[in-house]
Every structure is written in C-alpha cells, then in structure tokens.
Structure 1
Amino acid sequence: MAVKNQVQLITYPDSLGGNLKTLNNVLLKYFSDIFKGGVHILPPFPSSGDRGFAPLTYLEIEPEFGTWEDIKAIGENFDVLVDLMVNHISQKSKYFQDFLLKGRKSEYADLFITLDKLWKDGKPVKEDIDKMFLRRQVPYSAFTIKETGEEEKVWTTFGKTDPSEQIDLDVKSEKVKQLLTDFFINFSKNNVKIVRLDAVGYVIKKLGTSCFFVEPEIYEFLDFIKGLADSLGIELLPEVHSHYTIQYKLAEHGFFIYDFILPYRVLDTLINKNSQELCKYLKNRPSKQFTMLDCHDGIPVKPDMDDLIDTKEARKLVDIALERGSNLSLIVSDEHKAPDGFDVHQIRCTYYSVLNKDDDAYLAARAIQFFTPGIPQVYYVGLLAGENDIEAVERTGEGREINRHNFTLEEIEQSIKKPVVQRLLELIRFRNEYPAFNGEFKVLDCAKDEVSLSWEKEDKKCTLFIDLKTNKSVINYIDNNGKETEYLV
C-alpha cells in the first residue's frame, strides 16, 4: 500500500459535527475531492484522559463517537490513519486493572515493566535516572496490589498525575508483541491504511542511556513493527519530537517522518519577510515526510528546532505570537533549556490567528506547505481558518484547547463560505490534481523577501512565487492544452 501524494485531513472523531457518522457525512458532502490523501482520525478509542491519548484498548471505539463500522465506512472513500500509543496503555485498561488486582499472578503481568526488569533488586538507582530524558519527576509509579497488599513500582514515562494514568508496555515481552499484533490485525480488518506510532522514541528502557531513541534497539523494535504492518498492507508513520538529526536517522532507515521544522520556518518567513532560512532548509531536507503547519498540540520549537534557530530571534517571534493571542508550553527539565534560559516547547495557537488573520499570509503559508515535498496534512481548525478559542482555554485551564474547537454542523456550513476557506479549498484541489507534484522539486533563486519553488514532470510544470512584502502568491503552470496559465492563489 503506497501512501497517496495528496492532501490529508487531521481531525478528532467528534470535532466536525460531533461523532464519526457525522464526520463521514461532512467529508462526503463538502470535502469528497479535497482529502484524497486520507483522514487522520485522532484517537477514537475508549480513553481515560489526554483527549484520547490514554487508550484503554484499540479493539473498541468509544461508544460516544460510534463504532468500527463507522471507521470502516469512512475508509470506503478515504484512507484512514489512526494513532497507536506504542509506548503505553491506560491505567484503566483491563490489562492493568487485572495486574492491580492479582499482581505478578495476573496473566497480563509481563505486559508491564516492573522495576526488577531493570534493577535486579527492583530498587531504582539515582545515577541511572539522572541520565534519562524525563517527562515527569521520576519515570515510575507505585501501586498497591489489591489481593496481596504489596507495593509494585512500574515504569511510567508520561502522566501528569501520581500514580500515572499512562502505563508503559514492555516491548521486549512476547505478550506485548502479541497484543500489538492483535491491534494491527484489527486495524487491517477495519480499513485502516496508515498507523502513526505515537511516542515511539521512548519504547526502549536501557540503564546507562537517556532511555530515549536508544540505538540500535529502537531499530530492532521498528523492524518488528514494520514487518507486522507490511504483512497487513499498512503504512507506518513514527512520531518523534526531538533534535532533527534523530528524525533524519528514521528517514535513513526508510521510514516516513514528520516535518516538525516546517511550521516554525514558514511562520518565521512570513512574519520577518525573509525566506533565506526557509529556502536553505527546503534544499536539504529528506523528502519522505508528512508536512503540517498546525495540529492538536502546537507549533514545535524546542527540541525540534535546536541548533536551527537563534534563541534571541526565536524569542522575538514568540513575543509576536503572544501578542496575537497564543499561549506556550514550556520545557520541563533544565538540561533541555537553552543556555540563555529559552524554554519554549511549543507555540499554541491557530495558524490563522498567529498570522494575524491575514487571508493572503495564510494562503501563502499553505502554498509553501503544499509545494514542500511530502504528504501535506491540514488540521481541521486550519481547514476552516478557525481563530484562537480563548474561551475554551479559560473554561478548561488547558492551553492546548486554543486550537481544538469543536465545530457544529452550522459552524462548518458558515466557515466554508468564508473567502479564505474557499481559496484554500481551491489550492488543495490544485495540489491534489496537478501531475507535476509527482516529479522533480526545485528551490529557485529569489530575493530574500520572495519565495520561488517549482515542480516539473514531463510536459507539466508549476512555479509558486510569493512576494513577502504583500503576501500575494501566484502559481504559473502549464495547463492540459500546453498553455502557460496564471493562478492567483
């Protein structure tokens, strides 16, 4: 199964109309020729937190969203992509609940990493933990086993609560390999074509290392998963937020990677009216990537942009984003902050709002994304040129809610009529249908306040030109009659 080189949608199961059935109706009614690349449905599984990212199982769909039949129905017309949190599973899952009841006697005990799997006596050693890339104060949680009253400490990389809601899986265990196999077989049965491996960088726990992207063991695990996916005709997309060189290692191993550098680069280009860094980047990046500008988190800054940005310049860009209503997520551990204290992990906003709701600037951003080699993904809020949802942030206290507005059918109907959305849909159609995007890409020489990119295949050629002084974008292309045609984006 080859991933289609066309535009994909990213959406929650309930954010375009309330559930999966309505999502399918909305896709067929408004976007049947728009998302030819497929639909990334953010976790539709029963979950105990983190808006779906703490799944109890991958064998069921959260009843509020619908059923596997609904996923299957969407898959009739659109390639479906779903997430697999390959590093962990919910504390509320039947597997961990059984372990909480029976401890080591549970048939599922081996799914989890009790501390004696790392330290012989089960006692954590501070020097080992100091070397690790931590996502919470300590990488384990203590639980009391109901039947015996004994305390068990198990590995938990993530989680805001103590004990954590997200329990790590032991990927060395045959039981975990069987469980992952069951999940993949179920995906395949239900028309899932692509699986995003969420948090895959954390799956290997090895003393003396950072426990993040541990080589070569990570590749052994990825080879196992790839063999499984290949046998079922499923494509994989590993998700790793890290220094770009780690991403590039995955690309060297033949995997698709996420372009987490592009969103910041495009924002910087449009705000500072300077394309030099963007053009330099576009000349040297791997092409087997999924591109995005916005998603359910934020615009990546650290660690994705480490060694690629000057933190003084980044601070200025962040300040402009804050003036335009954004909020920030910050780096937790001191050793991962910049020497000057710069600690921005992600800028949280809608991409339309951070570009000051300037239609031309927003279309220029999308044009750059669509001309960048890779599979373009458009987040549902970006699709509808949604604005920062400040009220949702205040109501929930969760900064990420700024870009997670749930649209009613009426709001979708109204948003689609906006000129900026109509222009975006036209641009997506061009990206989906023009044959040169399967050809050769070039970054053309241009002044620093311009962007000029081209694609060419046989007798078809298209060139994007953006004047950053005005944010106006023009595409010149050879049409089906061999005539040069100008398209004002």
Structure 2
Amino acid sequence: MAGAAELAAATGTAGAAGDVLAGVHLLAYTDRLGGDLAGMRRLLTTGPLDRFSGVHLLPFFTPFDGDDAGFDPVDHGTVDPCLGTWADVRALADDGLALTADLIVNHVSARSREFTDWLAHGTASPWDGMFLTYDRVFPHGGTEADITRIYRPRGGLPFTPYQQADGTRRLVWTTFLPSQVDLDVDHPVAREYLRRIMRTLAAAGVRIVRLDAVGYAVKTPGTDSFVTPETLRFVREAVAMAHEEGLVVLVEVHAHVSQQQAVAELVDLVYDFALPPLLLHAMGTGRIGPLVEWLEVRPRNTITVLDTHDGIGVVDAGPGAGRPGLLDEEEMAALFARAAELTGGASDRMSQRVAWTRVPHQIASTFLSVLGGDATALVLARAVQVFLPGLPQVYYVGLLGGLNDVPQYERTGQGREANRHRYTAEELRDALTTEVARAQLALVALRTEHPAFAGEHSVEVLDEHRIVLHWTAGEHRVRLIADFTPGRPQLRVAATTPEGTVEATSVAELAAWDAVAAWR
C-alpha cells in the first residue's frame, strides 16, 4: 500500500485537490482551543501547532454553543460572530491549511428561521416540505414493529410533537435531540438548502466537507433506517452535489465494518472507526490478531482517528448487520469493562446507550483516560495511527494528553462533554510543554515531513504481541515496532534518511525529537 499519492488516487482527488490528503490534520472546537478563529490561525500558522497541514473546525456556525455544541445550527450559513467571520475562515485556507467543515445533513435547530417559519405559516411557508414528519414516512401508519425497529443513537422514540400556528399538531422526526429537527433530504426544498450550504463553505475555502450523521438521514419503512440501500443512494447523490461545488467528501458513519466498506466505495473519505477499539483491545489483552486482520482489509481512503469530539467509537469493531465483528460480543463487553475500571466507573456513567441495545456505541471518555493515564500506551496508539495508510486526524484533547473533565460532564449532564475540555491560554501553554504532547507533535512532524511516507507501506507480524509497520521510499525509511504486551506497552520508532538513522524508544526520547528534529 502506498502513501498520500495512492490515497489521492483512491479518492479521486489526485491533482488540484490531492494536497488536502497530505500530512496530518487537527480536529478541534475553535472556542475550546484557540478562543476564536483568529486564535486558531495563530496556533496553526505561527504557533506550536504549525506542524499540522490541515484542520477540521468543528461547527463554528450560529450558534456554536447550542444544545449540541454547534451540531444544531440555527443558521448553518453564518459564522457565529463570537468566533469571527467568513473572512477569518478564508484566511486559514489562504495560509495553506486544508480546511474541513461539517455539513449537517440530518437536521437543523428547531429555532432556525426555516423551521419557525414553517410552524408559523404551514403550507404557505417557502420551507414547507423541508422537515420530515411522521406521516411522510408512515402515510398509512406505522406498526409497533415498524417504529421500534428504527435505529437511534439515543433512548426512546425519534419523534417530537410540535404545534403550528393554526393549531395543527405535527409529529416531527428528531433523531438526536427534540431541538434538532430532521430534514426530509429527498424533498427539493431540503436539497436546495444543502446545496446552498455547500456553496457557502466552498466559497470560504473549505476543501473537505463532512456529511455529519448521514447514516440516519433517510427513513425507510420496514427497515432500521440506518445505512440502508436508500441511505447509500442519498450518499451518492450528496457526493455528486458536493463534487459539483469542488468539495472533497468525508462521510461519518458508525456502523459494522461491512457497512463502512460499502460507504467507502461511494465517497472520497471515510473514518477508520474500527482502529481505536482494536487498539484498546490489543492494549488490554495483548492479542493483535483482530488488529492485523483489519489492517489487511481496511479501506484505503480513510481518515484515521483515536478519540474524537464524540468520544471513542467502538461499535464499528463489533458484530452487527447480522454479521460477526472483528471483536465478538464477549470481547466488546470486556472492552467496556476495562474502560470503566480504568476511568473509575466514569466511562460507564457517561456513555449513552443506543435504543434497544445493551452497550453504548461510543465510549464517552478521552483516550488517555481509558488507558488509565498511561502516556506510553497513548503515544504507542498515536504512533500506530500515524504509521497507517490514510490521513491521520488528531483530536485536540488527545494531543494535549487530556483526562476526563468530569466536572464539565456533571455541570452539563452530557457525557461527551468530558472529552471536550475548554483550554484556557495558561492550560494550553502548560499542556504543550508535557512530554506526552511533545512526543505526539514529533510524530505529527515525522508523518508530515519524512519522505518515506510518500512511498510503500508494509506490515510485519513479529509474534503474538508485536507488529512492525514500515514505510519505504528509496533510501528513505521509517519503521515502528509496536509491542502490546499486557501491562508493558512499548514502541520503537526509527527514521532513516541518506544521512543516517535515528531511533526513539520512549515517550521522553520522542519528545526530544520535537525539540531538535533529530530525524531530519
């Protein structure tokens, strides 16, 4: 397998847009890391995070601090003035950073002008048809089996009653929160809304658009309405729309690996959400078999992650869609149990159950917390991520070695808030001086700058606990030996150029690379 060049070819983005797939991208909330867009620009261009080649700015629309941390836009087409303007977004792009932004395709806020106008004027509203109502999906009524079959990332049913100004009562689909009203993505009014947002993002210099929660976007009677053939049809159509606007498309779907593989064939980029639970499984058991199995079949057009703003996705490695998983039910249960033990029970309290399932589909926690604060284990996991084909994306809390912000969870009642810490300027300065952050920044610089990552990738299994990841481009070589021996995680990173070879075998040694760029 090859590096960025093959990834660009695999995604169909070779040439003018191929540069968006190079290096390593940062994933961050603007306000929680940089304060505002100008602050993010300073960090990424002249500050300590200038090693990153791109950034995914989590929702910065109006309001960025709504009921779901920006994923409930009242106005998806404007930048929240507390953060800046579209000119500030454009400035990041003009500085050479590859920008990713969210296109929230499943819903908008119940406070949006479109929804409030529809409530006020009904069929006379220009937005009539934009919102999905119960009768659009079940015109002849739905049976108990029809309704309880629906897959939902929350407990309860996905409907909320709303009353229009003339007294008409409507059941509106609300897949996530009652204040997040679902779009009827097959209606022309909703399609034109989505196209308008795509054009706005492209005009501001956004290169990659993430179709957020697209797996839930199409509701089909008689199915679970999650990543169905009808969903895949909509994905194809949304990708075509985005390509017309010059955008590269990333799709976010937490699902069985077979469903991920099906989606990967239709889009430019998908997340490798199976990687984090497989790494946690290897850390906890020492067994690398499931990880090796996945490395042999995983899609090439992936963005690799550890934790994200939603926590740690785990459902992707387990059984589902009537098929066995990379991990079986017992192994998945053990994964959750280890996380709960190492977080003092916090991850179990904070992780939200999906309707009709026994376990969460995500662990609400930072990655370092579910590793019991073991910095070597975190840097080992990050090194594996950085050494895999695909585009590595590093979440700001993980980069800074963040532990669970339990007080923030307790204040908000939202489990995912534990992994969304708001860094003050002083906290950020202190975090960036730690060895765990500097070691990860050294890995980011290595992946971004070393010529070997433009070459060929290979995997070697040494024994039941150890795996070797190689990249080679002529005389330029890099190698990672990842040792998952239970209780004794270890790593050895070697980087070779025509001038010689340097090695790091600990977090401290990698952190020193960050200071002196030893491998150059």
TM-score by length of 1: 0.91
SS class of match (1:213): coil
Gaps of 5+ in 1: 338-342
Aligned residue among 26, 30, 48 for 2:43: 26
1:292-347 deviations in Å (ceiling 9; x for gaps): 1011112222355222223333333323322322413243333x43xxxxx13222
In structure 2, relative to structure 1, the CA distance for the partners of 1:313 and 1:172 (3 Å cut) is closer
Aligned residues, how many? 474
- Take 1:314 and 1:214, find their aligned partners in 2: how far apart are those partners? 24
Q: Does 1:234 align with 2:247?
A: yes
Q: Does the aligned pair in 2 maintain the 1:291–1:377 contact within 8 Å?
A: yes
Q: Does the aligned pair in 2 maintain the 1:443–1:453 contact within 8 Å?
A: yes
In structure 2, relative to structure 1, the CA distance for the partners of 1:63 and 1:134 (3 Å cut) is same
Tell me which residue corresponds to 2:163.
144
Matches within 5 A, 1:25-424: 25-31=42-48, 33-36=50-53, 38-47=54-63, 48-77=66-95, 78-120=97-139, 123-135=141-153, 136-146=155-165, 148-159=166-177, 164-215=178-229, 217-302=230-315, 304-306=317-319, 307-325=325-343, 326-328=346-348, 329-334=351-356, 336-337=357-358, 343-424=359-440
Q: Which amino acid aligns with 1:472?
A: Q
Q: Does the aligned pair in 1 maintain the 2:303–2:393 contact within 8 Å?
A: yes
Q: Does the aligned pair in 1 maintain the 2:352–2:415 contact within 8 Å?
A: no
Q: Does the aligned pair in 1 maintain the 2:106–2:183 contact within 8 Å?
A: yes
Measured after TM superposition, the shift of residue 269 of structure 1 is 1.6
Q: Which amino acid aligns with 2:22?
A: N
State the percentage of identical aligned residues.
Answer: 35
In structure 2, relative to structure 1, the CA distance for the partners of 1:195 and 1:276 (3 Å cut) is same
Q: Does the aligned pair in 2 maintain the 1:364–1:473 contact within 8 Å?
A: yes
Q: Does the aligned pair in 2 maintain the 1:476–1:487 contact within 8 Å?
A: yes
Measured after TM superposition, the shift of residue 279 of structure 1 is 1.9
Q: Does 1:11 align with 2:31?
A: no
Q: Does the aligned pair in 2 maintain the 1:330–1:344 contact within 8 Å?
A: yes
Q: Which amino acid aligns with 2:250?
A: L
Measured after TM superposition, the shift of residue 383 of structure 1 is 1.2
Q: Which amino acid aligns with 2:225?
A: C
1:81-108 deviations in Å (ceiling 9; x for gaps): 1111101111110000001111122111
Q: Which has the higher mean CA deviation after the structures are superposed, 470-479 or 48-57?
A: 470-479
1:41-92 deviations in Å (ceiling 9; x for gaps): 1111114411111111221112222221221122222111111110111111
- Take 2:241 and 2:266, find their aligned partners in 1: how far apart are those partners? 16
SS class of match (1:132): coil
Q: Which has the higher mean CA deviation after the structures are superposed, 20-29 or 78-87?
A: 20-29
1:185-228 deviations in Å (ceiling 9; x for gaps): 1101111111110111122222222222221x333322322222
In structure 2, relative to structure 1, the CA distance for the partners of 1:165 and 1:425 (3 Å cut) is same
Q: Which has the higher mean CA deviation after the structures are superposed, 420-429 or 20-29?
A: 20-29
What's the C-alpha RMSD, in Å, of the aligned pairs?
Answer: 2.0
Q: Which amino acid aligns with 1:29?
A: T
SS class of match (1:308): coil
SS class of match (1:59): strand
Q: Does the aligned pair in 2 maintain the 1:250–1:256 contact within 8 Å?
A: no
TM-score by length of 2: 0.86
- Take 1:467 and 1:220, find their aligned partners in 2: how far apart are those partners? 42
Tell me which residue corresponds to 1:476.
494
- Take 1:314 and 1:155, find their aligned partners in 2: how far apart are those partners? 31
1:364-413 deviations in Å (ceiling 9; x for gaps): 11111111111111101111111221222222222222211111111111
Gaps of 5+ in 2: 1-16, 320-324, 511-520
Q: Does the aligned pair in 1 maintain the 2:251–2:267 contact within 8 Å?
A: no
Q: Which has the higher mean CA deviation after the structures are superposed, 217-226 or 286-295?
A: 217-226
- Take 2:397 and 2:174, find their aligned partners in 1: how far apart are those partners? 32
Measured after TM superposition, the shift of residue 238 of structure 1 is 0.8
Measured after TM superposition, the shift of residue 181 of structure 1 is 1.2
- Take 1:321 and 1:437, find their aligned partners in 2: how far apart are those partners? 33
In structure 2, relative to structure 1, the CA distance for the partners of 1:223 and 1:301 (3 Å cut) is closer
Q: Which amino acid aligns with 1:168?
A: D
- Take 2:338 and 2:139, find their aligned partners in 1: how far apart are those partners? 52
Q: Does the aligned pair in 2 maintain the 1:274–1:450 contact within 8 Å?
A: no
Q: Does the aligned pair in 1 maintain the 2:318–2:332 contact within 8 Å?
A: no
- Take 1:228 and 1:368, find their aligned partners in 2: how far apart are those partners? 35
1:267-297 deviations in Å (ceiling 9; x for gaps): 2222333323222221221121011101111
Q: Which has the higher mean CA deviation after the structures are superposed, 16-25 or 424-433?
A: 16-25
Q: Which has the higher mean CA deviation after the structures are superposed, 314-323 or 179-188?
A: 314-323
- Take 1:262 and 1:303, find their aligned partners in 2: how far apart are those partners? 9
Q: Does the aligned pair in 1 maintain the 2:273–2:316 contact within 8 Å?
A: no
- Take 1:401 and 1:167, find their aligned partners in 2: how far apart are those partners? 22
